[in-house]
Amino acid sequence: MNLKIVSGGQTGVDRAALDAAIEVGLPYGGIIPKNRLAEDGKVPEKYQLTESDNPTYEYRTEQNVIHSDATLILGYLPMTGGTSLTNDFCHKHAKPHLFIDLKQPHPKQKILDWIKTIQPKVLNIAGP
């Protein structure tokens, strides 16, 4: 399976997804806010991501959902903030998505089964 990982480059799940893609040699990408805006200052230059002309997290989140075949959301219930927004954009654009509550044990098989079923070429990974 050829798979590209996409994320918004923020701290937490976004960067963990990028780091994992880099480590195993998967192609990666994603849209980030203007000026590489991040919760901790700036998205590090080591992540070769596409900087948008829009400075908002909302725009970045929606673009990454739109330009992906599916979205994997890793987080906690209840969903809040950007995690909830990602879920909302998946519904708005009728994109396949899977939410994994990180408090639940052993999510690996559920994720692998979902990816095998969906067979995305571009997978957006998001969460807090």
Per-residue pLDDT, 119 = 97
- Stretch 45-49: mean pLDDT: 97
- Stretch 93-122: mean pLDDT: 96
Q: Is the pLDDT of residue 75 over 90?
A: yes
The CATH class that applies to domain 4-126 reads alpha beta
Q: Is the pLDDT of residue 31 over 70?
A: yes
Query: Could you tell me the pLDDT band of residue 1, with boundaries at 50, 70 and 90?
Result: low
Per-residue pLDDT, 102 = 94
| C-alpha pair distances (Å), 69 with each of 55, 94, 97, 118 | 24, 10, 9, 9
- What is the Cα–Cα distance from 47 to 99, expressed in whole angstroms? 25
- Domain residue spans in the chain? 4-126
Q: Is the pLDDT of residue 55 over 80?
A: yes
Nearest to 30 by CA among 103, 125, 117, 111: 125
Host H or E run for residue 111: helix 108-118
106 versus 28: the higher-pLDDT residue is 28
